[in-house]
Amino acid sequence: MIETKRRGGRPRSEQARQAVLHAVDDLLLEVGYAAMTMKGIAVRAGVGRQTVYRWWSTKAEILFEACVDDAEEELAVAPARTRLAEVTSYLDALMRFLAYSPAGAGYRALLAAAEHDPAVKQLIATKDVLRDSARAVLHRIAPHRPAGDHAIDLLIGPTFFWIMSGRDPAQLDIDELARSFFHGFGSEEP
């Protein structure tokens, strides 16, 4: 039996769990990650503080649980006709995720928190949604290639840097980026 041992007692309230996850989603957009507190989450969810601490250690854990599923879904793009279209479509999804999606906001907050806290770094390493999504795309457009990290970084890096350095997402030229992915800086000889 995989079922966890339970010897009586009130079972965990799924309602409380959902309330906490939604509270985190809401608070992230309303006040931002830094101003989001465990106390605030509990109050917003209408839940006791101990109930929060019983199931999660930090706000990062809650946020991770709250946004990882959405993130995976948003980064999974449908196959396209050409390889260029496939990459373009993926980069578009990536940009939208990082720049506009609530789940993406959560992910960015977690990445930032990871920079300040090794525990968070370890947490998000358990499910690398960004690299996984890119790997899937690369596997489709070049099934005979190993799809190593190198290609993944080439694919994600420029868009990632654009967003993370605070540039306007609307001014990112996805098409040009997709072309450069295949052709590089230019035709000139290095």
Binding site for DNA (CB under 7 A): 6-13, 16-17, 19, 37-40, 45-51, 53-55, 58-59
**Residue 6 interacting entry, from its own copies, DNA, none, C-beta within 5 to 8 Å by type:** DNA
Contact residues for its own copies (CB under 8 A)?
A: 32-34, 82-84, 87, 108-109, 111-117, 121, 124-125, 128, 130-131, 142, 149-151, 153-162, 164-167, 173, 176-186, 188-190
**Residue 50 interacting entry, from its own copies, DNA, none, C-beta within 5 to 8 Å by type:** DNA
Tokens coding 105: 């906001």
Quote the least distance from Cβ 157 to its own copies, whole Å.
Answer: 3
Closest listed residue to residue 67, CA positions, set 125, 30, 110: 110
DSSP code for 170: G
- Angle between helical axes of 83-99 and 149-164 (0-180°, round to 10): 40
Evaluate whether 152 touches 139 at the Cβ level (below 8 Å).
no
- In this structure, what is the dihedral angle of CA atoms 30, 34, 38, 41, given to the nearest 10 degrees? 10
**Residue 130 interacting entry, from DNA, its own copies, none, C-beta within 5 to 8 Å by type:** its own copies
